[in-house]
Amino acid sequence: MSRPSISELERIAAEMRGEVIGMSHRADTPHLGSALSCVDMLVACYFSGALHVTPANPRDPDRDRVILSKGHAAMSLYTALAYRGYFPREDLLTFNREGSRFQEHPGPHTAPGVEVATGSLGHGLAVGLGMALAARSLGKSYRVAAIISDGECNEGSTWEAALFAAANKLTNVVAMVDYNKWQATGRSDEVLALNPLREKWAAFGWDAVEFDGHHMQALVDFLSAPPSERPRIAICHTVKGKGCSFMEDDNNWHYRVPTAEEVEKARKELGLA
């Protein structure tokens, strides 16, 4: 696949957001705000060409591993995988239906392309570190990209992983924090005083940068940059419910599900209707 332009990537992101909002309505599934805040990161991972993803052979041993550690954004992951061709888009219609493999959190048998079961917070990055160590040991050049949430930075296991990656100089790991400033019941800066988040990761031995996590060019540049001496992390400043004016930065959309009218309104705002 030739590398799409930034505007093409942005168009994919808008379409994915429309799909995800429809899924939430159809399947009566929450976590929509969290799903929308990380869509641009997923687009950068799966569509920009910065990472070597292999939809025709999801278990290709040389593929780059994309891990959605914030598994509650599964709707966005499934949509990215379907749009990228890992499985037919129609399969998304079965999301969260009784008997469907597409559960509300990604598991080992939910969809091809899912690297790690996630949903309980603070697991994905650490499993990714094992994959990165294995790459080194097996002489492979694949990389691991993990998307974690700010809420996940509450978990001690996230910081265990941060220490381990730095100690082992896992330069084949890149992480992105979807810093949408909200966790389930409050501002993430208030619940457990995450700020200053970039400095925390830097103090743990990572090359830590921060930028607007909806800025597609910045995301692609971050993923495309050559490895440094340390593992790299981007604190991605994002907006929960991004792309839909009546959801943006409103934490009710952690659990609320849109009505049919709200789906239509959102699609219009996204330029899809």
| Contact residues: other proteins, CB under 8 A | 61, 107-108, 115-117, 120, 123, 126-135, 137-138, 156-157, 160-161, 163-164, 167-168
By C-beta, is 99 or 156 nearer to other proteins?
156
Task: Specify burial of residue 43 (Cβ count, 10 A radius: 0-12, 13-18, 19+).
Answer: buried
CB of 206 to other proteins, least distance (A): 15
CB of 107 to other proteins, least distance (A): 7
By C-beta, is 164 or 253 nearer to other proteins?
164
CB of 157 to other proteins, least distance (A): 5
CB of 164 to other proteins, least distance (A): 5
Strands, sheet with 232-237, edge to edge from the N-terminal-most edge strand:
65-68, 144-149, 173-179, 232-237, 207-212
Q: At what angle do helices 260-269 and 6-27 cross, to 10 degrees?
A: 180
3-class DSSP state for residue 138?
A: helix
By C-beta, is 167 or 260 nearer to other proteins?
167
Distances from the Cα of 270 to the Cαs of 8, 77, 177, 242, 258, in angstroms?
14, 19, 24, 10, 15
By C-beta, is 140 or 215 nearer to other proteins?
140
Listed in sequence order, the residues at least 6 apart from 235 whose beta carbon sits closer than 8 Å to its beta carbon are 177, 179, 197, 198, 201, 208, 209, 210, 211
CB of 131 to other proteins, least distance (A): 4
Query: Rounded distance, CA 3 to CA 44, Å?
Result: 11
By C-beta, is 152 or 269 nearer to other proteins?
152
CB of 263 to other proteins, least distance (A): 32
> What is the pairing mode between strands 186-187 and 182-183?
antiparallel
